[in-house]
Amino acid sequence: MGTGHSIDTPIRVGPFGISSVISIVDDLLVERIRAHYAKKFDLPYKKIPRYSEDGRARRITAYLNTVQEILRRRMEEIRNLPFFENNDKSKYFELLPNESPLRHEYQKFLETTPGPERESMAKRLTDAMLPGSIDVNIMVKVDRMTFTKEGLPLSEEYSDAKAALRGYAQSALNSAIVFSAGMNQALFNYMTKFKDFYRDEMGQIKKKIVLKVSDFRSAFVQGKVLARKGLEVHEFRIESGLNCGGHAFASDGLLLPSLLKEFREKRDQLKAEFMPMIRKYYESIGKTYPESAADEHVLVTVQGGIGIHGEAERMRKSYGMDRTGWASPFLLVPEATCVDDATRQLLANAKEEDLYLSDVSPLGVPFNNVRGTGSEKWTKAQATTNKPGSACPKGFLVSNKEFTEKPICLASTEYQAAKLKKLEETGGPANEIVALKAQILIKTCLCEHLGNGALIALGIVAPTNNPQAICPGPNIAWFTRTYTLREMVDHIYGRGESLVPAERPHMFAKEIVMYVDYFEKLVSRSGRTPKELAYLREFQENLENGMTYCLEVAAEAPYENENLASIPPCVEKQRERLKSIAAKLEPVEELVA
């Protein structure tokens, strides 16, 4: 969802019991959104200046508390609405999944004749209305060291990731924090300073830990690191390495079905391994681990490319997933996400060929993108001037020290000008110089551009000179217009007519194609060293094994509207492609000979 497109989603969908995640990477964006909503809801607001003491953490805390207060007010308003009217109260219950006990109780209530029993049921139903959770996300590797306004370095606790964590930890939220993009040992160590990540005297954890993981080994390793500190993982969130939105952290050719199968077979090992370590930690600090918590179920969930109810059913029923996550389709739901009109229309019109894995991110990580954004146009226009790149007003993604003492961003004018000058001085074949220039100039100012859409949508800035970036997953190609919240929720739960056509390929088929595409790119960029060749062959083997397993899945009975029939022809075609690409893998020595 980027930094801005779900920035206010809890305010939008939380009153209907729907949980969502806010990115807290960009505290400067967060501050502007807080000012907007404080004014809208007549809440007190005092600006927290950029370079004020512990400003990043304070801005995040202030915004999260503001969102919570607005959600509290909205829930109170909805609870006070009457039943038996077409209002947000009835909408709350009608959006619940069919199997929800609360929905069943509501249906029973509607059929009850007036009287004391119905009044009692009305009170119970109203009391049971709970808001969705206001969860937050930190990309743990986005952790630059920060400086004062005068350029003096701040201590380690003021690094971006630690300050964001502190901002969340000091908020009033009772929710979860999602850690993505790998592991950050220093950040995990820092978590031990905050009691809300541990069980209280009632055995409850106020702020839960969610790890976004790419495979079972990652879950096992990170879970152990946290368990030794007495920290419990509430949820392991499996995500397809490529068939997702935002930055794509590809696996070593391990397809999602193979990962799900491994989790299904080994998930009991997670708790069995972690619980003794957690108990030992509590004993070491003179506390007793609450027995009531020992039987709690560690959630394992999945997201990435799910586009129809039948696929979600397979995740739950065949693989034992506790929940499924849907994100990119909600970019087409104005009630749920904060996207400017032009970009939302761009997404609605986007075809499969318009959605691609790009190289625009300054992090050097593949980034799911759509062609034709304001950000793309702006970046290309800048590349034709004598000042390509961005002024780097925020600097969250700084990483390079090739030309400077302090790290700078690959999308910045400072870096690109220096790199282009060096390239000009070095020289080389014209075609190579053109290719290298393109690699330099493609980098985009994601810090600024991913937040602009939200600012435009809320009327805080005008579209002029505020280019918008967005990072949908490829699945959005099959959603072709804007939708109401009710339409999308009904689609997810398999109620009514499907929003996607029957010919949409299965999510597993789409992922296969993406991984073969990615393998082709890896091969084309490979230096053919022994180490690279060993990795590529392992990648190829994992892909081949994954495709074989996908054929086993395709032979099973499909769930409702699940296009399993699309998998076998996809496997046949992509196996041939894989074989052809792999044939190019020869050691450098052989090529020279």
Calculate mean pLDDT across residues 359-376.
96
Residue-wise pLDDT for 458-474, tens only, equals 999 999 999 999 999 99
Residue-wise pLDDT for 22-41, tens only, equals 999 999 999 999 999 999 99
Calculate mean pLDDT across residues 143-163.
92
What is residue 586's predicted lDDT score, i.e. its pLDDT? Answer: 72
Residue-wise pLDDT for 60-90, tens only, equals 999 999 999 999 999 999 999 999 999 999 9
b/e code 181-207 from CB counts within 10 Å (16+ = b): bebbeebbebbeeeebbbbeeeeebbb
- Spatial CB neighbours of 342, under 8 Å, sequence gap ≥ 6: 374, 463, 468
User: Could you tell me which of 251, 310, 304, 249 has the C-alpha nearest to residue 476?
Assistant: 304
Asked whether residue 448 is assigned to any structural domain, the reply reads no
| Count of structural domains, the chain | 1
Residue-wise pLDDT for 338-350, tens only, equals 999 999 999 999 9
- Token couple for 1: 């969802």
- Token couple for 438: 């393109």
What is residue 589's predicted lDDT score, i.e. its pLDDT? Answer: 52
Chain-centroid distance of CA 514 in Å reads: 18
Calculate mean pLDDT across residues 269-288.
94
Residue-wise pLDDT for 103-134, tens only, equals 999 999 999 999 999 999 999 999 999 999 99
Asked whether residue 97 is assigned to any structural domain, the reply reads yes
User: Could you tell me which of 243, 501, 476, 477 has the C-alpha nearest to residue 351?
Assistant: 477
337: left (phi over 0), alpha (psi -120 to 50) or beta: beta
What is residue 548's predicted lDDT score, i.e. its pLDDT? Answer: 98
Asked whether residue 252 is assigned to any structural domain, the reply reads no
Residue-wise pLDDT for 138-147, tens only, equals 999 889 999 9
H/E stretch holding 65: helix 55-79
Calculate mean pLDDT across residues 300-307.
96
User: Where is average pLDDT lowest: 171-175, 278-282, 354-358, 524-528?
Assistant: 524-528
What is residue 591's predicted lDDT score, i.e. its pLDDT? Answer: 44
196 pLDDT above the threshold of 80: yes
200 pLDDT above the threshold of 70: yes
Calculate mean pLDDT across residues 554-572.
97
DSSP codes joined into one string, 262-295? HHHHHHHHHHHHHHHHHHHHHHHTT----HHHHT
Asked whether residue 176 is assigned to any structural domain, the reply reads no
Q: For residue 70, give its domain range.
A: 1-152
Separation of alpha carbons 13 and 321, rounded Å:
23
* Average model confidence (pLDDT) across the chain: 95
Residue-wise pLDDT for 492-511, tens only, equals 999 989 999 999 999 999 99
Apex CA 284: angle with CA 280 and CA 290, to 5°? 60
What is residue 277's predicted lDDT score, i.e. its pLDDT? Answer: 96
Calculate mean pLDDT across residues 249-274.
95
Asked whether residue 14 is assigned to any structural domain, the reply reads yes
Question: Do 293 and 199 meet the contact criterion of CB atoms below 8 Å apart?
Answer: yes
H/E stretch holding 358: strand 355-358
Asked whether residue 39 is assigned to any structural domain, the reply reads yes
- Tell me how many helices (H) and strands (E) the chain has: 22, 9
Asked whether residue 17 is assigned to any structural domain, the reply reads yes
Strand partners, 213: 238
DSSP codes joined into one string, 69-112? HHHHHHHHHHHTSPSSSSSHHHHHHHTS-TT-HHHHHHHHHHTS
Question: Do 357 and 518 meet the contact criterion of CB atoms below 8 Å apart?
Answer: yes
pLDDT confidence bin for 587, thresholds 50/70/90: low
What is residue 427's predicted lDDT score, i.e. its pLDDT? Answer: 85
1 pLDDT above the threshold of 80: no
Residue-wise pLDDT for 407-439, tens only, equals 999 999 999 999 999 999 988 899 999 999 999
Q: Which amino acid is at 212?
A: K
- Token couple for 442: 């493609």
Chain-centroid distance of CA 122 in Å reads: 37
Asked whether residue 516 is assigned to any structural domain, the reply reads no
